[in-house]
Amino acid sequence: MLFQVRMDVNIPLDMPVETATEIKAREKAYSQELQRQGKWRHIWRITGQYSNISIFDVESNEELHNILQGLPLYPYMNMEVMALNRHPSSVREDDS
């Protein structure tokens, strides 16, 4: 199942820099491992914002939910999740 997820990050301004740096390092490691596994297909920055658009390829809604809740920055994010389905007018045989 493919999902588009928009993630907007809002780290509190009063969070100590060392704490924010440590959380971001854990976030990077976690997301890169999911990318290597093929679960986190794509990630793009949104210009001028601390936000991204990502594409996930997971087995179920529950798997995506668990992945997103596992993000170290999850407590500081607003997310918008959209399920994706193949369009019948696509010229591609797959989702490449």
**What are the sequence ranges of the domains in the chain?**
2-84
Q: What is the pTM (predicted TM-score) of this model? A: 0.90
Q: How far apart are CA 37 and CA 19, in angstroms?
A: 27
pLDDT band, residue 12 (cuts 50/70/90): very high
> According to the model, what pLDDT value does residue 49 have?
97
pLDDT digits (tens, 9 = 90+) for 44-92: 999 999 999 999 999 999 999 999 999 999 999 999 999 998 888 988 8
HSE value, Cβ hemisphere, 13 Å, CA-based, for 11: 17
- Please name the fold of domain 2-84: Alpha-Beta Plaits (3.30.70)
Q: Which residue matches tokens 């500081």?
A: 76
pLDDT value at residue 96: 63
pLDDT at position 90 is 86
